[in-house]
Every structure is written in structure tokens, then in C-alpha cells.
Amino acid sequence: MTSRRSMLRSLAALGPTALFASEALAEVTRWLPSALPQMPASMVAQDEDFWVTVQQAFDVDRSIINLNNGGVSPSPRTVQAAFRRYTDQANNMPAYEMWRHQEPQVETIREGLADIFAVSPDEIAIMRNASEALETLQLGIPLERGDEVLTTTQDYPRMLTTWEQRVRRDGIVLKKVGFPTPLKRRKDFIEAIEAGITERTKVIHISHVVFLTGQILPVRDICRMAAKRNIRCIVDGAHSFAHFPFTQKDLECEYFGTSLHKWFLGPIGTGMLYVKKDRIADVWPLMAAPKDMDANIRKFEEIGTHPAAMHNALIESIAFHRAMGIERKAARLRHLHTVWTDQLEKFENVRFLTDINDDVNQCGLRLVHIEGTDPGKVSSYLLEKHRIFTVSIGHEDFKGLRVAPSVYTTVDEMARFAKAMSMIARGEAGSAVSVDVKG
């Protein structure tokens, strides 16, 4: 019987290009979920033989450590190969190939995404990003002058801008509530939202994962609260879908929008919108659709001519996601973070803006700040001196460095990041990262 170790190494020996070709991917899909049948995900997360197959599925520049995968992540080779294949096919005879062959194939993608989210395919629309998905809801839900929308001070700027446009255009009222960072007690968030609700509140808009800090918010509690009051609740899932295990039933949401080029590892420019079946007819699409599509989720996809290759290549993202296993993926991301957080916890001048001690509160995205430093300077220093790519975060209530590895990130890369940050924490970077003092 072939051992797990020899199987994984044999697959890796196929080489980066062949490893996740269709036949090899099928073998990985069959093998990986049962490769370590008695081992919990937390232990698989530390098994480097297991993860070498995942790492070699990506064609990335290892001369730079990319810790900004929260914005957009590289796709596996199979996804990129599928995108190129569909693009080339379409270019041979565009009108015939795209509309007769490729566009109908989107239904396979719809079914795959619906299966992962555990909903009906007739509740899933394929979008271009989370912004398009969420703005479809924000601009499509009927509201009258004086109606209130409740959100938070930590929601995504583009989404806040969209609501602010409705304030100017339609005379609605936008209310933003704050909450503690890091969020140690989930009830603090729930109580902040509840305190902001009035008899005129029609919509609550919240993030599942805060893009600034990686904080996982108690979405189900808010969705239940909204349902009891007949308030619509929009869930921004840009940073949660395919990041850690959950389905629609875990959230009890009626509306959910996400990007598929972040944690789902899809082609850049892909997203997903979920609308509960009985709510579809109540939302206007961004672009006009005929009346007979009022209750059809596909009305939200009526955007005119576009490359079908983008969404069709998602079939490989679906296969890769299933092969890896979401429980193991989440455990691996948390393990990668412990490589550096365990080192930085030793320094008194290091502050974590994400509750790193509670898995319920975080997964693959964290925010850290070294007192006395400028996060923008720290980000520049890490890139220029250590070839580590991160993003600095500035908010009215906090600031820091956002750290977001991916499944292709190695333990050695996280150790290099830990070493560089430790040097900064010890003051060895000097004025290159310090806050400017004005006289």
C-alpha cells in the first residue's frame, strides 16, 4: 500500500507544471481528503509533506514574500491555464464560441458555488467582485426618504461611499456605529448594533470579516436580530468565503456578497452574490433586465458582453478548494500566523489589533502595530530591506500592519517575517520606521 508520505512526494516530483494538471488534480482530489484520516486539521496544518503539493500548485515570485493576499491572491496554475484556454477558444470565433458554448457553462459554476455555500443554484449570481455584488443590493433595495441604514465605522470604504450616495440622491439616513478593537467580547459588537437600531431602520450592513483587522464578527446574531424586526441585513463576505468553514445556514443571512479572487483563489475579477429565493424579486439589478426575470437570480448578471473565460475558469478554483479541504485550509492559515505571532508576543511594544488567542475571532488575516512606528514606513522598510510585501492600515481609532499569508506561503517565509519584525520591535530599524516627531 502506498504510504501517505510517498504519495505526496510522488505528486510533488511531477513538477510544478504537471502537478495540478487535470489528471494529477483528480488524483490529489481523491487522495488529500483521506491522506491523513485519523489526524485533525490542526495537525495536518503542520504537516509540510501535505502542504508541499499545495505550494507547488502556484506560480509565484518567491524572491518577494507576499503577505497581502487579503487584497487579491494569486490563482493556482490550473485556474490560470483554464482562463487562457477559454480566452483562446473564444477568440477563434467570439460570437459563436462565447454565446453558444461558454456562456451556458456558467451554470456548472453556479452549481459548484451553491454546493459550497449550501444553497440553491437559483440563489447564486456570478459577479465581477464583492463591490458589484454588494452595490447591487445597496442600490437595488428600495428605500424612501428618511429610512435609516445602519452600518459600522469599520466597513469597507467603497460600501460606505455607496450608502453616502444614496443619502445624497434619495435622502436616506446613514448611521455608523463603532466597536472595540480588538474585539474581545462578541456581545460588545452585538450590543453596539442593537443600540443603533430605531423604528426607521430598514437595512443593517455588516462585514463578516473586517477588512482592516481580520476580526470575524457574530453575523448570525445580527441576522437573527434583524429578522425579528423585519430589517434587511446585508452581509459583506468579501474576506470570509472560502477562508474558513461556514455555510449560509451558519449565518442565517438573506443577502451575501463576496469576491472570489481573494481566499477562493479565483481569476482576478470574479465574485458571487447570494440572495435568498423569496427576496430576489425585491431587488432591482444594477443593469436593466426584462420583467419576466424579476424573480430570477440571473437578472443580476445582465451586464452585456463580457469574457466568459473569467467565470468559467472558476471550475478549477472549485476543484482546488475541494481538494484542499476548508477545515485544513483554515487550520493552515492559523498555523502560519503562529510562526510570527509567537515571536512578537514577547515584546511589550507590540500590540495585536486582532484577538490572536481565540480562533472564533480570527483566521488568515491579522493586524499588528509596533508602538512608536509608522505603519506606512514599516511596510516600505519591509519591502525595501527584506523583500516582504505587506499593507499598512490607518483608521481613526487604530493603525497597524495587515498580515495575510495564503496556502502557498511557507513556514520559512513566515519565519523571515517574524525575524524582520522582531528587529523592528527591538529598535534596530531606527528612524526608517519611527513616527515623525514635530517640534
Inter-residue contact 243 to 324 (CB < 8 Å): no
Strand-pairing partners, residue 272, are: 126, 258
Is pTM beyond 0.95? Reply is no
**What pLDDT is attached to residue 49?**
86
**What pLDDT is attached to residue 29?**
43
**Where is the domain boundary, 294, 317, 340?**
317
Q: Are residues 279 and 130 in the same domain?
A: yes
The CATH number of residue 367's host domain is 3.90.1150.10
Residue-averaged pLDDT of the chain: 91
Q: Are residues 287 and 337 in the same domain?
A: no
The answer to whether residue 438 is domain-embedded is no
Helical axes 4-13 vs 48-55, angle rounded to 10°: 20
Checking if the pLDDT of 256 tops 90, the result is: yes
Say what percent of the chain tops pLDDT 70.
91
Q: Are residues 95 and 63 in the same domain?
A: no
Checking if the pLDDT of 15 tops 50, the result is: no
Checking if the pLDDT of 399 tops 50, the result is: yes
d(CA 99, CA 168): 39
**What pLDDT is attached to residue 439?**
36
**What pLDDT is attached to residue 1?**
35
How many residues are given for the chain? 439
Q: Are residues 121 and 182 in the same domain?
A: yes
**Where is the domain boundary, 317, 345, 377?**
317
Checking if the pLDDT of 437 tops 70, the result is: no
Q: What is the pLDDT of residues 113-134, one digit of tens each?
A: 999 999 999 999 999 999 999 9
The answer to whether residue 299 is domain-embedded is yes
**What pLDDT is attached to residue 13?**
44
Q: Are residues 416 and 279 in the same domain?
A: no
Number of domains forming the structure of the chain: 2
Query: Which 3 state secondary structure label does DSSP give 370?
Result: strand
**What pLDDT is attached to residue 35?**
53
Checking if the pLDDT of 4 tops 90, the result is: no
Query: Which 3 state secondary structure label does DSSP give 421?
Result: helix
**What pLDDT is attached to residue 103?**
86
The answer to whether residue 270 is domain-embedded is yes
Closest CA to 242 of 356, 297, 318: 318
Q: What is the pLDDT of residues 284-323, one digit of tens each?
A: 999 999 999 999 999 999 999 889 989 999 999 999 999 9
Q: Are residues 348 and 278 in the same domain?
A: no
| More confident position, 415 or 11 | 415
Q: Are residues 305 and 340 in the same domain?
A: no
Q: What is the pLDDT of residues 146-169, one digit of tens each?
A: 999 999 999 999 999 999 999 999
Q: Are residues 195 and 329 in the same domain?
A: no
**What pLDDT is attached to residue 102?**
81
The answer to whether residue 75 is domain-embedded is no
**Where is the domain boundary, 262, 291, 317?**
317
Contacts of 135 (CB under 8 A, 6+ apart): 158, 159, 162, 286
Q: Are residues 239 and 365 in the same domain?
A: no
The answer to whether residue 198 is domain-embedded is yes
| More confident position, 237 or 86 | 237
d(CA 62, CA 180): 37
The answer to whether residue 38 is domain-embedded is yes
Q: What is the pLDDT of residues 194-209, one digit of tens each?
A: 999 999 999 999 999 9
Nearest 10 degrees: Cα torsion 249, 250, 252, 255: -90
Q: What is the pLDDT of residues 24-37, one digit of tens each?
A: 444 444 445 445 55
Q: Are residues 251 and 163 in the same domain?
A: yes
Range of the domain at 372: 1-68+325-427
Q: Are residues 61 and 98 in the same domain?
A: no
d(CA 407, CA 54): 7
Q: Transcribe 148-190 into DSSP letters.
A: EEEEETTS-HHHHHHHHHHHHHH--EEEEE---SS---HHHHH
Q: What is the pLDDT of residues 45-56, one digit of tens each?
A: 998 988 998 999
**What pLDDT is attached to residue 17?**
37
Q: What is the pLDDT of residues 167-178, one digit of tens each?
A: 999 999 999 999
Split at pLDDT 50, 70, 90, the class of 97 is confident
**What pLDDT is attached to residue 113?**
97
Split at pLDDT 50, 70, 90, the class of 383 is very high
